[in-house]
Structure 1
């Protein structure tokens, strides 16, 4: 194995060349900088350093088994002069064994080098095994197709800019229809506001009671397939940029009954304004969701929501359902408590 000095490691401290040391081995983690779940800024704080003690202290910076699997892929050599004490060997060996066991379980669940849908369609594992595995996040530097057919697979993935591109014209049309059928703009503004507020509630309800319907999920392969398609794929591969925002076809299916209900309850002016507000809230939600996963966020509000949402993915998926805010989590008692930052 190639050897490096600590001085060589310490000279690689940027996003373009980021090295680290763990248990006297050298890792070139440059390709992972932008997709680190905690953000690029916290990752680069430890660039060029020995992170052995950091990763070993689960009370400070806990990592999943899959994190150690991933780390092995970036190993480029070892230190010429060891810096970590030999007394930690037993702990490290246990971590490696645990990581290896996790890796073996993952291979039994899904092969991330092949299309996922056929594997799930023919799966025979239990609901308990499925839920254990789907909530163990995996990072894949390559794109994982969902369908074997390239056309179907194209429909299953969505770029972030597709959402505003498709729905902003629809929102504009609904506002125009509201103004056209109403006597004053006040009714349109009020309807738009109520629609946006309604979306924040729907965001919480969908996330908690549809996407995380784990307890009531039937122990049947078809139910597991539907669960994985709706949201499980995002929890299993949370940093996949093309499986993060909702495909337009799924948005239409979910929104259709809401549109029909609004038409029944409201006059046309309010209906159009309400749907414009609801879809505007949805667009903001999907953009914020992508922003939290893949951007260096603003410190005001979004930094806290990034910590909050990533804790939902990596620490406790049974709470912290709010993405744009914690309002409905507070109302319904599902706030995910986070430790105070130093």
Structure 2
């Protein structure tokens, strides 16, 4: 039985602690710690050693802020290009390819919003529910500035690509499927790189500066709204656009 007065020890590995919080987990995980130093997840060095090794290497080379984001385009952009080239080899023109890719990106933006709202912010209170949520997204809300665990691990992305590919095969032709999938994958790359930048970049122009403000508002002020990362489009469509501070004061 979960002790209602259980307290998480931040100096110990967190993953197998958070489940004991029970119903108190939701409140705890949405009280962010704005530190660039990430927590230890596991007691076992087998699970923790790889990320610690990366930290040591890049601290010594003073590239700590670049340890994560570049892995995403490095691995997935060649896959995007290969998928698009498949549809080109099957006879589609460049304008047709462009339309497929843009359509794939558009589909991704809806998937991005849906996953963030309904999976990443699912309400949990059981031991394993809390534990799994913390691993998927809770750790990011608790430590939003932890750059090592911000983007999605490539191995997990590869697993999720399989049902996404099969779903596209069901609704499109064999020659359209690769380019449409490539567009969706390109949308994912844009999302993950943008997400990293919104946390660790210092935008100078108005559009990215407003996008950064919009996303950090989701982390530090209104965490049950503002689920869009690359844009606020679907928040506007589905009514989850957060109110401004001025509007809240006038209520």
Name the TM-score class by shorter chain. 0.7 to 0.9
User: CA distance change for structure 1 residues 183 and 134 in 2, over 3 Å: closer, same or farther?
Assistant: closer
Determine which of 293, 296, 300 is the counterpart of 2:202.
296
Shifted more, 262-271 versus 130-139: the winner is: 262-271
Task: Provide the C-alpha distance between the structure 2 equivalents of 1:172 and 1:182, rounded to a whole number of angstroms.
Answer: 16
Is residue 2:32 matched to residue 1:137?
Answer: yes
Is residue 2:99 matched to residue 1:190?
Answer: yes
Q: Where do 1:234-313 residues align within 5 Å?
A: 234-313=140-219
How many matched pairs? Answer: 228
TM-score for both structures, normalised by structure 1: 0.62
Identify the residue that residue 112 of structure 1 maps to in structure 2.
10
Cα offset, 1:288, TM superposition:
1.0
Determine which of 181, 190, 193 is the counterpart of 2:90.
181
Deviations 1:166-211 (A, max 9, x none): 1111111111111112343333222111101101111110110110
Higher relative contact order (CA 8 A, sep 6+): 2
Task: Provide the C-alpha distance between the structure 2 equivalents of 1:319 and 1:222, rounded to a whole number of angstroms.
Answer: 25
State the structure with more CA Rg: 1
Q: Which runs of 5+ in 1 are unaligned?
A: 1-106
Task: Provide the C-alpha distance between the structure 1 equivalents of 2:87 and 2:219, rounded to a whole number of angstroms.
Answer: 39
Q: Which runs of 5+ in 2 are unaligned?
A: 55-66, 247-251
Task: Provide the C-alpha distance between the structure 1 equivalents of 2:167 and 2:51, rounded to a whole number of angstroms.
Answer: 28
TM-score for both structures, normalised by structure 2: 0.84
Q: Is the 8 A contact 1:193 1:277 kept in 2?
A: yes
Q: Superposition RMSD on alpha carbons, in Å?
A: 2.1
Determine which of 202, 206, 225 is the counterpart of 2:115.
206
Identify the residue that residue 7 of structure 1 maps to in structure 2.
none
